[in-house]
Amino acid sequence: MINKETIQRIMDATRIEEVIGEFVSLKKRGANHIGCCPFHNEKTPSFYVSPSKGIYKCFGCGKSGNAVGFIMDHEHYTYPEALRYLANKYNIPIEEERMTEEQKERQTERDGLFHVTEFAQKYFADILHNDEMGQAIGLSYFHQRGLSDEIINTFGLGYCLDEWRNFTDHARRNGYSDEVLEKSGLTIFKEEGKCYDRFRGRVMFPIYSISGRVLGFSGRILSSEKQAAKYVNSPDSEIYDKSHTLYGIYQARNAISKEDKCYLVEGNVDVVSMHQSGVCNTVASCGTSLTVEQIRLIKRFTPNVTVLYDGDKAGIKAALRAVNLLFEEGMHVRVVLFPDGEDPDSYAQKYGSFQLQEYLRTHEENFLAFKTRVLLDDVEQDPIRKSEVLKEIVNTIALVPDRIEQQDYIRLASSKLRMNEQVLLQELGKAINLNLIKSRKEEARQQSQSSTPASATPQQPLPTDGPPPLEPDPDDYELMRQSSSYRSPEQILAAEHPAEAQEKKIVRLLLNYGNKEIPQEVVDDEGNTFVANLPIANIIVDEIVSNELHFDNPLYQQIFDLFRKAVEDEQPLPDANFFATNSDTILRNNALSLMVESYTVSDLWLTEKHISVPSIESRLYKDVEESILVLKQKKIEQKIEALSYKMRECKDEEESLILLAEHSQLVNLRQAVCQQLRRVIV
């Protein structure tokens, strides 16, 4: 257990923008930082981080929380593991307790897998450096490839002895069960209890998560056995999915973000060799063809990718396939092909680091130029093949989500293909339409599969504010506009909850400025009036309660009740951390969305337009007063409307007179509130 004092020291030291910045490329926007959400695929950033409040909020998928919650969600850590991660990052000492056998048995499968893979990495590295056979076979192999001890340690490389159960027996002696050894893929079990080490006789390449945890391994054989696979990889498990993982991402992430570019190569050795040569922003897919999930992992740090592949036919084919996938995900792609028979590792060994970096710089080319050059080989005299090449290139351009980029690529293709630009634009339009039709058919198919009866649909929380949604497709927009029943989400919300906007504003004031004190006239027990500084939360709670107002939105009422209880009990007000750690997901997500300001006033208003925009803090008193008055006005109007309906339906003359008197009182009260509002606004 970690005591409360240590937890508090961890929370005090943690800077959320630094923690999340290790996983997401963030850009400063006003008081906040913004980036693409790591929890769902998006092309327009909607993921906000507030350093001042220590919270994050995605307005796309709704994810929110504090630094500990982010690490738990992103890395699938337990609460203590997330705390230990942050403690290690900020050099805060934690006294570790030795685990008992009973505690080991209670570990979850995921915890057990992480422990055994990290244990295995240390064991293989120790064999490589300290065992006689490990040094003679494994270490000498790495040295022959030109790798230094420093780079070997950076990537945690190791060696598994060429013995049937050396590692398995060692792991058993250290308390690891056969079940966890089998599920991790480190040991292969046969019938009658027989087993053997999966990676025996291989040099070991640990595969790390983005935060540095060992997920699995890739082992390369050093013998010349024809029947043995050159590489053996860990099977997918609870913690390792090769299609979602990139080899070298942990070591490369900072360099990728700094250089704003990622080099994508084919093999593990290529990655290590590139790092050794000073090109540290390099990763590789883990024993699989490039996947969408791997591309999205890169996109967290940069949208710019340079694909490095061998110059043979297989390398060219792989490069073309990867380019299409990359462009579908909105990446900016360039390509470098090495001379036939060369790869990044062999080129670096033959010519050295400087020549490798120079080759990358001078041979990097636009994907379209590369693809056109490759596909046009030997088809100049074949009109049919040339037509096929044209369509292939246009189909690739159609995958680019940015319309301006598409126009630039069309102009370039027109020049390379010596083809009229209008012809290419017509073909592009056809390709885009076909893609759109396919996409809509797929969406319709998925919706039909997942559709449920209206009565079974759970009630959705009221929408929260955030960045404006993307514009719909023009065709879709026209269809919606022509529909007489179409109403925007804002129109629906305003019709069902007339006071929604004002309720939201008051709750936002409570959440963001509840502790802020402003001058207020108060009367003591003897009737004397004087000015005192009161917290905004106290003022709002007193006004809402004394005027017997309530919130139509149950979520806003729930938040207000939390503040009311704190004020009445004279307890600390709910803060960002209170909501970030709240177990009520809907409450947490909506409260944090109101606490993160997704819009800021540009400095250009002052520097270029010479217009000074007052800050929210400078007009808090007027904001509080005006917000409560408008809420009163809205509630009075709701009552007037309800009374008007009753009066129209009422058949009893005496009751009608009573209703008329109430209606008159409410109209007078509304007039008085409106007069106060004009005074406040003026």
Residue 632 near residue 606, CB atoms below 8 Å: no
Determine the average pLDDT of the residues in 638-665. 81
Per-residue pLDDT tens over the stretch 538-591: 888 888 888 888 888 888 889 999 999 988 888 888 888 888 888 787 888 888
Determine the average pLDDT of the residues in 335-360. 85
In angstroms, the Cα distances linking 101 to 97, 169, 363, 465, 472 are 13, 18, 58, 50, 58
List phi, psi (to 5°) of 490: -65, -40
Q: Using alpha carbons, select from 364, 217, 242, 335 the residue that is nearest to residue 294.
A: 242
Residue 9: per-residue pLDDT: 82
Distance CA 179, CA 260 (A): 43
Q: Using alpha carbons, select from 416, 579, 585, 441 the residue that is nearest to residue 512.
A: 579
In angstroms, the Cα distances linking 335 to 18, 28, 324, 508 are 32, 31, 12, 49
Residues 6+ apart with CB under 8 A from 141: 203, 222
Determine the average pLDDT of the residues in 340-353. 83
- Confidence check: pLDDT of 126 > 90: yes
Residue 480: per-residue pLDDT: 39
Distance CA 120, CA 122 (A): 5
**Token duo for residue 21:** 């910045």
Enumerate domains of the chain plus CATH numbers.
4-89 (3.90.580.10), 108-240 (3.90.980.10), 296-433 (3.40.1360), 495-681 (no CATH)
List phi, psi (to 5°) of 221: -75, 145
Long-range contacts of 566-574 (CB under 8 A, 24+ apart): 566/537, 567/537, 567/538, 567/541, 568/541, 573/514, 573/515, 573/535, 573/537
**Token duo for residue 407:** 């126009």
Residue 516: per-residue pLDDT: 85
Distance CA 460, CA 490 (A): 15
Q: Using alpha carbons, select from 384, 357, 408, 153 the residue that is nearest to residue 272.
A: 153
Distance CA 553, CA 559 (A): 10
Instruction: Please tell me which of 5-19, 177-191, 366-380, 496-510 the model is most confident about, judged by mean pLDDT.
Output: 177-191
Residue 206: per-residue pLDDT: 96
Name the residue type at position 380: E
**DSSP alpha helix (H) spans, 483-584:** 489-496, 500-513, 536-546, 554-568, 576-580
Residue 662: per-residue pLDDT: 81
Per-residue pLDDT tens over the stretch 616-630: 555 677 788 888 888
Least confident interval from 88-97, 501-510, 556-565, 660-669? 88-97
Determine the average pLDDT of the residues in 373-388. 67
- Confidence check: pLDDT of 85 > 70: yes
Residue 581: per-residue pLDDT: 82
Distance CA 139, CA 156 (A): 12
Select the more confidently predicted residue: 469 or 341: 341
Instruction: Please tell me which of 110-119, 198-207, 615-624 the model is most confident about, judged by mean pLDDT.
Output: 198-207
Name the residue type at position 2: I
Q: Binning pLDDT at 50, 70 and 90, where does residue 598 land?
A: low
Per-residue pLDDT tens over the stretch 425-453: 777 777 777 777 666 666 566 555 544 44
Least confident interval from 110-119, 351-360, 645-654? 645-654
Q: How many helices (H) and strands (E) does the chain have?
A: 31, 19
Distance CA 674, CA 658 (A): 25
Distance CA 220, CA 226 (A): 14
Distance CA 375, CA 613 (A): 57
Determine the average pLDDT of the residues in 12-20. 88
Distance CA 415, CA 289 (A): 32
Give the global pTM: 0.57
Distance CA 288, CA 231 (A): 12
Distance CA 516, CA 526 (A): 27
Buried/exposed 367-385: b ≥16 CB within 10 Å, e otherwise: bbebbbeebbeeeeeeeee
Distance CA 589, CA 304 (A): 32
Per-residue pLDDT tens over the stretch 301-316: 888 999 887 666 666 6
Per-residue pLDDT tens over the stretch 484-508: 443 444 444 455 566 788 888 888 8
Q: Binning pLDDT at 50, 70 and 90, where does residue 475 land?
A: very low
Per-residue pLDDT tens over the stretch 260-297: 899 998 889 999 999 999 999 999 987 677 888 898 88
Q: Binning pLDDT at 50, 70 and 90, where does residue 59 land?
A: confident
Name the residue type at position 143: H
Q: What is the mean pLDDT of the chain?
A: 79
**DSSP alpha helix (H) spans, 329-365:** 344-351, 353-363
Per-residue pLDDT tens over the stretch 500-538: 888 888 888 888 888 888 777 776 667 677 777 788 888
